[in-house]
């Protein structure tokens, strides 16, 4: 039997637990839409059929006949289909299969290392957003080829850990030329590119004697650059605009300027907010119709209520709290209020240097009040919602064939066996990833 190594027509069968994220009356109750002893038929990189393995042979034959009839009508009998002979049969051997993870928040294009900063935090120093500036200096000093090679390594990490769709933010250039090259490099590996020029105010503005040490004047001057020349250079390579609406970064008014300018340039809106304390980020995100507001560590009752009555996803980033020793966000509070919750890695060199969504799932279950099912949904379908994608995050006909086989009989093992490499074969658009 094949391992499904090439995109085409594949029947993945013998699945002990198939998580579809597509509930229906004939499946187990709950958001995961679990099929026991399941099978998935893939055709040309898309899901063609999902159901019980006992019905798989009949469904393959049915689709073969339909395809043959279509080809006969188009090409004549001399070009009859060999569709059924070309189906690769892949046996999951009773293992669980889940949708590919959707990581809706990462910062993967950067230079340098901040291991010393991490060690200092573990020794008791407090995390502040200003550490970003050290990465900016290292990123500016790196060549395109150096950044590209490092990015390729991170993408390989993501695939090896079951992530098949991922977003990448800029934010470590903070000059027109450097931000433009970061989004350009990110676009080489993903369509989900976010322009985050409004990450922090760069040191050359903070230290400019023209502002006389006035941080507000420096920030306003930098925002002028972000919404003007920098946005013009970055928008063609980006799908999203983001702003770090937080103390030590940008005020609500400054963030609004950036986000509205990005929206006017045709970009979707995302927000970093409420990471270091209660603040205006969530309310601004909801007001502007942002696809997501990310972090959500400190929320007022009004913030939760606003999210619950909006289409804005609350994206939680447990790797950050793990790496900074801040309190974890209360996912249970959000879920019970009816908020759509996503989990993402926030992979970055300063506050969350992990690319592992299985790790984030384990932390969310252990420390954030999520069940294993809720955490898996949040890292697949929830991530897709945060990116406003309807072609990933679930296993149902018509969607991309992004599948992950677990070296375990159930998705529960992702939290039950933390730190154990449970990701087996990974298919992106029906092809096994390298």
* Each residue's pLDDT tens digit, 274-333: 999 999 999 999 999 999 999 999 999 999 999 999 999 999 999 999 999 999 999 999
Distances (CA, A) of 171 to 41, 95, 113: 41, 40, 16
Write out pLDDT tens, residues 370-401: 999 999 999 999 999 999 999 999 999 999 99
pLDDT over threshold 90, residue 57: no
Q: Is the dihedral of CA 59, 61, 66, 67 positive or negative?
A: positive
Quick one: what percent of the chain has pLDDT higher than 70? Answer: 92
pLDDT over threshold 70, residue 79: no
Instruction: State the burial class of residue 91 (Cβ atoms within 10 Å of its Cβ: 0-12, 13-18, 19+).
Output: middle
pLDDT, greater one: 371 or 26: 371
pLDDT over threshold 80, residue 74: no
Quick one: what percent of the chain has pLDDT higher than 90? Answer: 84
- Return the DSSP state at 298: S
For the chain, report the end-to-end CA distance as a whole number of angstroms: 19
pLDDT over threshold 50, residue 102: yes
| Mean pLDDT of the 197-222 span | 94
Which among 1, 28, 23 has a CA at the least distance from the CA of 12? 1
Distances (CA, A) of 316 to 85, 101, 208, 248, 378: 46, 15, 36, 20, 9
Looking at residue 181, its pLDDT comes to 98
Which among 147, 146, 166 has a CA at the least distance from the CA of 155? 166
Looking at residue 126, its pLDDT comes to 75
For 296-422, list the strands marked E by DSSP: 313-316, 341-343, 403-406
Q: Which two tokens stand for residue 403?
A: 């599948």
pTM: 0.93
Looking at residue 80, its pLDDT comes to 40
Neighbour tally for 116: CB within 10 Å: 9
Residue 303 near residue 274, CB atoms below 8 Å: yes
Distances (CA, A) of 292 to 144, 147, 251: 30, 27, 18
Measure the CA–CA gap between 347 and 356, rounded to whole angstroms. 8
Distances (CA, A) of 359 to 155, 261, 345, 385, 423: 17, 36, 9, 21, 12
| Mean pLDDT of the 99-125 span | 93
Looking at residue 55, its pLDDT comes to 87
Which among 151, 194, 150, 200 has a CA at the least distance from the CA of 175? 200
Looking at residue 91, its pLDDT comes to 96
Looking at residue 76, its pLDDT comes to 47
β-bridge mates for residue 96, sequence order: 17
Looking at residue 238, its pLDDT comes to 98
Counting every residue, how long is the chain? 434
Instruction: Look at residue 165 and give its three-state secondary structure.
Output: strand
| Mean pLDDT of the 111-130 span | 83
142-178 burial by CB neighbour count: b if 16+ within 10 A, else e?
A: beeeebeebbeebbeebbebbbbbbbbbbbbbbbbeb
pLDDT over threshold 80, residue 2: no
For the chain, the average pLDDT equals 93
- How many CA within 13 A on the CB side of residue 155? 19
Looking at residue 133, its pLDDT comes to 82
Least confident piece of the model among 85-99, 145-159, 364-378: 85-99
Measure the CA–CA gap between 428 and 434, rounded to whole angstroms. 10
β-bridge mates for residue 272, sequence order: 244, 294
């Amino acid at each position: 039997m094949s391992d499904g190594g090439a995109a085409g027509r594949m029947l993945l069968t013998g699945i002990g637990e198939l998580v579809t994220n597509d509930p229906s009356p004939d499946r187990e109750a709950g958001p995961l839409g679990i099929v026991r002893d399941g099978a998935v038929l893939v055709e040309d990189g898309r899901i063609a059929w999902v159901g019980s393995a006992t019905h798989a042979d009949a469904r393959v034959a049915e689709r073969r006949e339909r395809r043959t009839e279509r080809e006969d009508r188009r090409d004549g009998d001399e070009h009859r289909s060999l569709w059924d002979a070309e189906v690769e049969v892949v046996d999951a051997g009773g293992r669980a299969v889940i949708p590919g993870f959707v990581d809706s928040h990462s910062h993967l294009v950067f230079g340098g290392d901040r291991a010393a900063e991490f060690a200092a935090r573990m020794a008791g120093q407090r995390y502040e957003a200003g550490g970003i500036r050290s990465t900016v200096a290292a990123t500016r000093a790196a060549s395109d080829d150096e950044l590209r090679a490092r990015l390729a390594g991170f993408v390989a990490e993501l695939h090896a850990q079951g992530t098949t769709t991922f977003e990448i933010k800029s934010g470590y250039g903070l000059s027109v030329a450097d931000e433009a090259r970061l989004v350009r490099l990110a676009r080489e590996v993903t369509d989900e590119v976010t322009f985050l020029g409004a990450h922090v105010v760069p040191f050359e503005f903070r230290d400019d004697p023209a502002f006389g040490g006035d941080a507000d004047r420096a920030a306003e001057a930098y925002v002028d650059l972000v919404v003007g020349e920098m946005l013009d250079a970055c928008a063609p390579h980006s799908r999203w605009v983001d702003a770090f609406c937080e103390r030590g970064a940008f005020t609500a008014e400054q963030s609004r300027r950036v986000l509205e300018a990005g929206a006017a340039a045709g970009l979707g809106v995302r927000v970093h907010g409420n990471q270091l304390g209660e603040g205006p980020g969530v309310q601004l995100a909801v007001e502007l119709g942002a696809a997501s507001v990310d972090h959500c560590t400190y929320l007022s009752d009004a913030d939760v209520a606003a999210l619950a009555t909006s289409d804005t996803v609350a994206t939680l980033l447990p790797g950050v709290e793990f790496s900074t020793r801040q309190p974890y966000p209360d996912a249970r509070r959000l879920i019970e209020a009816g908020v759509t919750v996503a989990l993402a890695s926030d992979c970055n060199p300063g506050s969350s240097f992990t690319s592992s969504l299985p790790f984030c799932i384990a932390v969310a279950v252990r420390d954030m009040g999520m069940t294993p099912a809720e955490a898996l949904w949040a890292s697949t379908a929830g991530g897709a919602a945060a990116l406003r994608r309807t072609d990933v995050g679930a296993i149902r006909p018509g969607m991309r064939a992004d599948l992950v086989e677990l070296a375990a009989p159930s998705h529960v093992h992702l939290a039950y066996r933390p730190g154990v490499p449970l990701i087996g074969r990974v298919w992106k658009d029906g092809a096994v990833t390298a």
